[in-house]
């Protein structure tokens, strides 16, 4: 299942992807760090809210993604929370791999 194109995510950036799978709505964050792609559920481990401040728009600086709700900060390459109310927790990772010019969802 394609999540996005490899050109959709700039180095160090994050995008939001919404999709219906098996009759359920899913929201993901796709990031790129050092040329490798990572994906997480768009669900903050602090209070279970979305991290984006508007659909698909994230606070991001120096490869750190900041939850728009209470400010927890996460490394884009690992999903590790490095500051804020859930420090030490991780975003929920989903499996991805690159096939041609697409970033494919491989596992939930
Ligand atoms: S919901 Fe993300 S920091 Fe509180």
Domain that holds residue 11: 2-107
Instruction: Calculate what percentage of the chain has a pLDDT beyond 70.
Output: 100
- Give mean pLDDT, residues 36-51: 98
- Give mean pLDDT, residues 91-101: 98
- Give mean pLDDT, residues 80-101: 98
The phi and psi torsions of 46 (rounded to 5 degrees) equal -70, -60
Does 53 contact ligand 1 (Cβ within 6 A)?
A: no
CATH of the domain at 31: 2.102.10.10
- Give mean pLDDT, residues 6-10: 96
Tell me, what's the pLDDT at 85?
98
Tell me, what's the pLDDT at 41?
98
- What is the count of structural domains for the chain? 1
On average, the pLDDT of the chain sits at 96
Angle (nearest 5°) at CA 54 between 51 and 60: 55
Q: How do residues 30-39 score in pLDDT, each as one tens digit?
A: 999 999 999 9
Which amino acid residue places its CA nearest to atom 3 of ligand 1?
A: 70
16 C-alpha to ligand 1 centroid (Å): 17
**CB of 90 closer than 8 Å to CB of 72:** no
Tokens read off for 24: 């359920």
């Amino acid at each position: 299942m394609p999540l996005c194109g490899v050109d959709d995510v700039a180095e160090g950036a994050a995008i939001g992807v919404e999709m219906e799978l098996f009759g359920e709505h899913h929201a993901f964050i796709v990031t790129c760090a050092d040329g490798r792609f990572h994906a997480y559920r768009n669900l903050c481990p602090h209070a279970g809210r979305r991290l984006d401040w508007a659909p698909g728009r994230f606070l991001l600086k120096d490869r750190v993604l900041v939850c728009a709700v209470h400010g927890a900060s996460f490394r884009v390459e690992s999903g590790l929370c490095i500051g804020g109310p859930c420090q030490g927790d991780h975003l929920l990772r989903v499996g991805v791999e690159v096939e041609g010019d697409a970033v494919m969802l491989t596992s939930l």
